[in-house]
Structure 1
Amino acid sequence: MRDTLCRMMMRFVREEPGNRFPEEGSPYFAEPLIGFAAADDPLFAQYKTVIGPFHLTPAELALEESPPWRPATVICWALPISEETRRSNRSETTYPSRSWALTREHGEAFNAALRRQVVQFLVDAGYRALAPQLHPAWREYRDSPVGIASSWSERHAAYAAGLGTFSLNDALITPAGIAHRLGSVITDAHLEPTARTSTDHRSNCLWYREGSCGACIGRCPVGALSRDGHDKRRCREHVYATVPGAVGEKFGVTSTGCGLCQTKVPCEDRVPAGKLSPLAVRQPGAGGE
């Protein structure tokens, strides 16, 4: 079942027209990375402390269904942003490139379609399934103890599924890098979890691994990144207010993203090598929202 599901997802990303720029027909996203976590993994309960009590566990989301059901697996994926789009964003210093903005709006619409496709595939196979990001129980909280957060973090689910670890800018560094979109679906199908090979929730980031790099700090046009981490409110004001106001109409989108700190950095499309192996870092924790 796991292999069949992965093949379906790979084919959907490869062949679905929604994963294409309308003009040239090139893809928004490359081949996805797919991981699996047990729905009862202790990390999901731990996120209620790390992120906030409002963060829902897979079981709590399934209880919101009618009739309620018991989840078994969380399916997660990362959609790596195409090399052409990443290249176009490297030269930008204030606002994202047009390709990046189109990927944020239309590519994320495709990501939502992939969520629905995975849910339908599982339902057709006789299982229950839901996509947390599309669920009525999904909420955003702007004044949580960790700043702006939501009732389901795709990044934290992906970490639980072994897809990567966190970075200085709070994104997830996967084997395909930090420039991606994430998605997840919860199901009662029992699928073998993906092993988490990192020993620390930040081991893929050079800054946390060995105190080097920090390239993302200089890439932020509004100073939302520093050695102390990520100012989420300042970042959000730029990404969701300033940038759309400046280039949204020009690019024909309402959601533009930014992505400057995810491009022209060593972790753009890989886990950077550095001097120390990611496995050499040993600090406990599950990551901050």
Structure 2
Amino acid sequence: MRDALRGMIERLVRDDQGNRFAENGAPYFTEPLVGFASADDPLFTQYKSVIGTFHLTPAELAQREIPPWQPATVICWALPVSEETRRGNRAETTYPSRAWAQTRQHGEAFNASLRRQVVQFLVDAGYRAFAPQLHPAWREYPDSPVGIASSWSERHAAYAAGLGTFSLNDALITPRGIAHRLGSVVTDLAIEPTERPWSDHRSNCLWYREGSCGACIGRCPVGALTREGHDKGICRGYVYGAVPEAVGERYGVTSTGCGLCQTKVPCEDRIPAGKVSPLAGNPAAGASPAP
């Protein structure tokens, strides 16, 4: 089933027409990364301290199903944004490119469909499953102690599943880079977890690994990024307010994203090389990530 699930996700990303620009048929996303985490991984409990008590574990979400059941695995994926779309966004300095904005809206609609299709695949095979992002218990908390947060973080689930580590801008740097969309499904199918090979929860970011880079700081047009990290409030106000107001109608979307700090940076499509290896080998390995 592990191989079957990976193959199904790869096939849908490759063949599903939902993953295509309407005007030219080019894909929003390229070949996905897929990882698996144990539903009872201690990280999911730690996230209640890192993110907030409102953040729900896989077991807490499954207990809200009718009837309740015990989850075994969290299936996670990263959908890398296409090279063509990333290239266009590199040239932008204030607002995202049209292709980036369409990927944010229509590509994320495909991602939601992918979640539903993975759930249905598991149900048809005799297992129970749900997508946390689409669960009735999902909530957003705009004024939490860590800023804007929600009852399920796709980024933190992907970290638990070994797909990458966090960056200065709070996004996840995977082996295919930082420009992507994430998804997850919880199931009672037991699958061996993916190894987390990183030295710590920020080791793929050159800034945290060795104090170099910081390229994403200069890419932010509103100063939401500094050496101290990511100001979620400033970022959200721009991405969900100023940007759609400025270009949403022209691009034909209501959700635009931004992505400037995820393009024209060394981690755009890879884990950047540096003087220090990002791989495990020090006592910080597996440390609980920041919100």
Q: TM-score range with shorter-chain normalisation?
A: over 0.9
* Distance in 2, Cα, partners of 1:281 & 1:157: 22
Would the aligned equivalents of 1:224 and 1:232 in 2 still touch at CA under 8 Å? yes
Tell me the SS of whatever aligns to 1:78. strand
| Structure 2: distance between partners of 1:281 and 1:77 | 27
Contact 1:10 1:32 in 2 (8 A): yes
Q: Name the counterpart of 1:288.
A: 290
Separation in 2, partners of 1:190, 1:231: 38
Identify which range, 2-11 or 234-243, moves more after superposition.
Answer: 2-11
3-state DSSP of counterpart to 2:148: strand
One-letter code of the match for 2:63? L
Gaps of 5+ in 2: none
Q: Is the Cα–Cα contact under 8 Å of residues 77 and 158 in structure 1 kept in the other structure? A: yes
**SS at 1:170's partner residue?**
coil
Tell me the matched-pair count: 289
From the superposition, tell whether residues 3 and 101 of structure 1 become closer, same or farther in structure 2 (CA, over 3 Å): same
**Secondary structure of the equivalent of 1:198?**
coil
Partner of 2:207: 207
- Residues 105-146 of structure 1 deviation map (CA, whole Å, 9 limit, x = unaligned): 000000000000000000000000000000110000011111
Alignment of 1:100-249 (within 5 A): 100-249=100-249
1:10-49 pair list within 5 angstroms: 10-49=10-49
The separation in 2 between residues aligned to 1:245 and 1:281, in whole angstroms, is: 46
Cα distance in 1, alignment partners of residues 288 and 123 from structure 2: 31
| Match of residue 62 from structure 2 | 62
Q: Which runs of 4+ in 1 moved over 4 A?
A: none
Structure 2 CA distance for aligned equivalents of residues 282 and 265 of structure 1: 29
| Inter-partner Cα distance in structure 1 for 2:284 and 2:65 | 37
Q: Is the 8 A contact 1:73 1:191 kept in 2?
A: yes
What RMSD over aligned residues (CA atoms) do the two structures have, in Å?
Answer: 0.9
3-state SS of 1:256 partner = coil
CA distance in structure 2 between the partners assigned to 1:89 and 1:217 by the alignment: 16
Q: TM-score, normalised by structure 2?
A: 0.98
Secondary structure of 1:76's counterpart equals: strand
- Counterparts of 2:5 and 2:271, CA distance in 1: 26
SS at match of 1:258: coil
Read off the aligned partner of 2:65 and give its amino acid letter. Answer: E
CA distance in 1, matches of 2:175, 2:107: 20
Cα distance in 2 for partners of 1:192, 1:283 equals: 23
Q: Distance in 2 between matches of 1:42 and 1:141?
A: 23
Does residue 1:9 correspond to 2:6, yes or no?
no
| Distance in structure 2 (CA, Å) of the matches to 1:124 and 1:85 | 35
Q: Which amino acid aligns with 2:84?
A: E
Contact 1:72 1:190 in 2 (8 A): yes
Distance 1:274 1:50 in 2: 28
Deviation at residue 281 of structure 1 after TM alignment:
6.2
SS in 2 for 1:278: coil
Match of 2:268 in 1: 268
CA distance in 1, matches of 2:156, 2:38: 13
Shift of 1:282: 5.1
What is aligned with 2:278?
278
- For residues 255 and 290 of structure 2, the distance between their equivalents in structure 1, rounded to whole angstroms, comes to 25
Structure 1 unaligned regions, length at least 5: none
| Counterpart-to-counterpart distance in 1, 2:142 and 2:253 | 24
Residues 226 and 282 (structure 1), Cα distance of their counterparts in 2 relative to 1, 3 Å cut: farther
1:146 and 1:288 in contact (8 A); partners too:
no
SS at match of 2:74: strand
Q: Distance in 1 between matches of 2:283 and 2:155?
A: 20
C-alpha distance in 1, partners of 2:101/2:290?
A: 26
CA shift for structure 1 position 283: 3.4
Q: Which residue identity is paired with 1:112?
A: A
Q: Is the 8 A contact 1:75 1:161 kept in 2?
A: yes
